[in-house]
Structure 1
Amino acid sequence: MPVREYELADKVDTLLQLRTQSETLTRQREQLQIIRDKHAGHGVVITDIDGRIEYVNTAFEKQSGYTSEEVLGRTPRLLKSGEHDKAFYEDLWETITSGDVWHGEMTNQGKDGGQYVIDQTIAPVTGPDNEIERFIAVNHDITELKDLELSLRERSEQLEILNRVLRHDIRNDMTVVLGWLDYVADHCEGELESELDRIESSAERVVELTTAAGDIVKTMGSDAEPDLEPISLTQILLEEGKKRQEVFEDATIELPVSPPCVTVAANELLSSVFRNLINNAVKHNDVDEPVVSITVRETDDRVQVRVADNGPGVPETIKDDIFDDELKGLESSGTGMGLYLVSTLVDLYGGEVWVEDNDPTGAVFCVELDVLNQSMGESGEYCD
């Protein structure tokens, strides 16, 4: 009896172990089926511990051009493209045979000889004894994404070249042109004065265009997240206002008195926002003495800068489209890019920009940004 009881207990224990193993295997099969179903749009490859392929799904067949019958029993080596060195595959194999998950990009070669790029994750599957029994690879084709990435990189490089041309070659040439215009004007003794003024105005618009276009290239030419930092809005605003007053001697630019010292999240192009708004307010003004009034308003956690002028105002028909990159009036003396740059930068800083009617005449361009911190300055001085 004791022997029979021992044998019975041993058999019961064996049966319990077998049931546990059976439940584990059932769960694994269910998990594998879930993987196959869930990743129907992804390539799925299942291999044994030696890397021989046991299963591929339809997405894999579409990616590689091979049918399941052509790859079963073979290893993924048939997909080697020559784009990866021996160390790449050794690291992959060492990772998954150590029980860890490998993830990375891989360039494969299909049946037709063409290459395709996949983003792939390979995970080991262990059995009841925690020994690795097979490997599962799930991937998705990112060939088009990589092609787009390459195209964007090439475009960025081209924009950078354009930026250098705009910033250096054209600006330098136009500086020479303006210098010769001054020399010619001094020797004309009043002759051709209006013609020379028109030439000078056109040359200055070219310089303005290179500045705006260069800033746009700098803003949009990178696919990286913008690097924003705390910048004194008050300092930028007052400095740019003073510079514009020196440029537009016939205009009056009224700067805010004792403005709050406001800091916002922006970059070095913040000055371009107010330079272009003031330029727009003066150049599109049709009165003999243009007046541009700049005020700063605080609204909760935001700051609003208002650039108001006494010009003709903005027609209702174009108010909603005035910041578009292609909008430019037939009689415009500007470049057609300044307000587009303003909108692009303000959006980059997480703010808003819009236009209102001024009273009694003119337009008010409003820029609203989030405030990082603020304190009152003394005697109109701005914060460091």
Structure 2
Amino acid sequence: MVGLIGGSLVGLSIASGIASVGLALYLSRHRGRPGATWFMASLTAQGIWAVAYGLGLTLTDPGLRAAAEALAWIGMNCTGPFFLAFALEYTGRSTVTQNRWVPVLLLSPMATLGLGVTHPLHTLLWRDFRFASVFDLGTVLYSIQPLGYVTVILSLSMAGIGVLLLVETMLAYGKIYRRETVAIVLSPIPASIPLLVWLGQIGPYPQLNFTPALLLTHVTLDAYAFSSTSMFETNPVTQRAAERSAVDDLDDPLLVVDGDQRVVKLNDSAQALFEISMEQLPRSFAALVGTDLDTLRTTGDLSLDSRTYGVSYTPLETPDGGRVGGIVVLYDITTERNQRQQLSVLNRVLRHNLRNEMTIVRGHADSVQSNWTDSQLLTQMNSIIGASDRLLSISEQMRDFEQVVDREIEQQAVDCLDFIETVRMDVRDTYPEASVAVVADAAPDHVRTDPTVLSLALSTLVENAIRHSDDPVPTVELFCSDDDADETVIFQVKDTNDRIPENELAALGADEEQPLQHGRSIGLWIVNWAVTAVGGQLRFQYESGNVATIELPADTHRD
């Protein structure tokens, strides 16, 4: 009659086996995900081990007892290899389980299976098999043979390697796996220690292997790690695949540099660019590229074989924040650099030549106008003078905007009332015939912005309004106010002109530049670019005249 202790060992062993197989069945919904099938196989082998051992403790027939022990050995020695295969595939190292290494992983379980099934015919796993009852159980003693030790130790070692792979990967890929990692680290401990005690025949009950009974703790922790969380939904394969794609699949040349500024890895594009193979690494970054990494990061570009590359550097860090090198990506910017240079030259030549030539045209037109009395000719001269003035105005606007584009934006506290008064006076110097008024009764004290860029935007709006007015005395008002609810400072330019054509305003929000209808369009583009540069928003509406509104964030750091 099996006693309380004996019954507990039998019950716990069988319960561990049933729980292992049950967890495997539960995880079958993840079949096809990385590692899921191998983990189910490991759990099934573990279940066979526990159930066979638990049932074996109730058997008294020598043949049946030996068969149960052999089946337990098969399950025990298949658990480790299957778990290692799971860990390799789950952590993104599936190539190991999909090539010639598969037979190596399966060698131990296949050998154990063959030896276990044929055990009555040999003594390669153990010998001197005999009953040595304890706690009224069918416990046995036998001398484990060297090959038997090899199979068990190999299975244990594979399981240990699998645990280390999981721990390393999960710690490397973020906090999402930290609790699961603790569960995985702890889960084999309760089962591994009694297994080693049994293998060494240590303690008062060498005929008892407590491991199958303690596998219930192992299964419980595994169930937490792999079923109550999202480890199969979000596994490290994605992150590891992203790393491989970043290095191997990026079209731009990519170099991985260690802490000593040695190139330790190149993608295919970098190998082709520098005409070097992976077998020739590691190699000094400066020797390979022609300049040291610090200089390259400072200059921001690299010239190679008549091509120009922009440089991006991303540091590489260990999970604890230690620097271990970095990734250098080279972006071919030759076309962009050439286009920028061509546009700069074109802009400078056109602007200078346009101004010089139009000044000559206007001078001759003025001369003709002052010396001729023919009304038709004078009308034509007026048209020429008007066109010349508009072109010269565009040239001036482009000069001003080029200066803004080339400058670094400098935010500073600006007195709102003084600022718009300065804009008004500057415009009046150019257009003394116009009526430009300032309305700033509720103006805030300050706004934080770049005064040069904002001044260009406001003066351009005012000048546009004056030039396109049909009144003998163009009327423009400059407003400044704040909106406490939105924490913004608002500048407005109001005129009494006809509505700005919708196609010109729509062009400002288009993905591609639209054809300019007349001189006002370039002015609106300049305003739009300037407002964007200072972090503001621009909008237009019509209220018995055009109202252009510029909204800027309120100054929260007033002097």
TM-score (norm 2): 0.44
Partner of 1:238: 421
Deviation at 1:183, TM superposition (A): 3.2
Give the secondary-structure state (helix, strand or coil) at the position aligned to 1:226.
coil
Say whether 1:40 aligns with 2:251: no
> Which shows bigger deviation, 193-202 or 310-319?
310-319
Say whether 1:278 aligns with 2:462: yes
Say whether 1:344 aligns with 2:529: yes
Superposed counterparts of 1:83-98, under 5 Å = 83-84=289-290, 88=292
Partner of 1:171: 355
8 Å contact from structure 1 (residues 297, 304) kept in 2: yes
Partner of 1:226: 409
Deviation at 1:277, TM superposition (A): 0.9
Match of residue 193, structure 1, among 378, 385, 388: 378
8 Å contact from structure 2 (residues 475, 496) kept in 1: yes
Deviation at 1:354, TM superposition (A): 1.0
Bigger relative contact order, structure 1 or 2 (CA pairs below 8 A, ≥6 apart): 1
8 Å contact from structure 2 (residues 464, 520) kept in 1: no
Distance 1:117 1:176, change over 3 A: closer
1:244-264 per-residue CA deviation (whole Å, 9 max, x = no partner) reads 334445542223366745343
Unaligned runs of 5+ in 2: 1-156, 173-235, 249-254, 319-323
Partner of 1:98: none
Say whether 1:157 aligns with 2:335: no
Deviation at 1:341, TM superposition (A): 0.9
Deviation at 1:115, TM superposition (A): 12
Distance 1:188 1:320, change over 3 A: same
8 Å contact from structure 1 (residues 43, 63) kept in 2: no
The amino acid across from 2:497 in the alignment is G
Distance 1:242 1:207 in 2: 21
Distance 1:190 1:309, change over 3 A: farther
Compute the RMSD of aligned alpha carbons: 5.2
Deviation at 1:209, TM superposition (A): 1.3
1:312-332 per-residue CA deviation (whole Å, 9 max, x = no partner) reads 224567654456653644xx4
Superposed counterparts of 1:5-24, under 5 Å = none
Deviation at 1:203, TM superposition (A): 0.9
1:353-379 per-residue CA deviation (whole Å, 9 max, x = no partner) reads 111122xx221111222343799xxxx
Distance 1:298 1:115 in 2: 47
Between Structure 1 and Structure 2, the one with more helix by share is: 2
Say whether 1:326 aligns with 2:514: yes
Give the secondary-structure state (helix, strand or coil) at the position aligned to 1:326.
coil
8 Å contact from structure 2 (residues 539, 550) kept in 1: yes
Q: How many residues align?
A: 311
Deviation at 1:122, TM superposition (A): 9.3
Distance 2:432 2:494 in 1: 18
Partner of 1:252: 435
The amino acid across from 1:84 in the alignment is G
Q: Identity of counterpart residues, as a percentage?
A: 19
Distance 1:168 1:352, change over 3 A: same
Distance 1:190 1:374 in 2: 64
Distance 1:166 1:124, change over 3 A: closer
Match of residue 492, structure 2, among 303, 306, 314: 306
Distance 1:313 1:211 in 2: 25
Between Structure 1 and Structure 2, the one with more strand by share is: 1
Unaligned runs of 5+ in 1: 1-18, 92-101, 126-135, 376-384
8 Å contact from structure 2 (residues 483, 490) kept in 1: yes
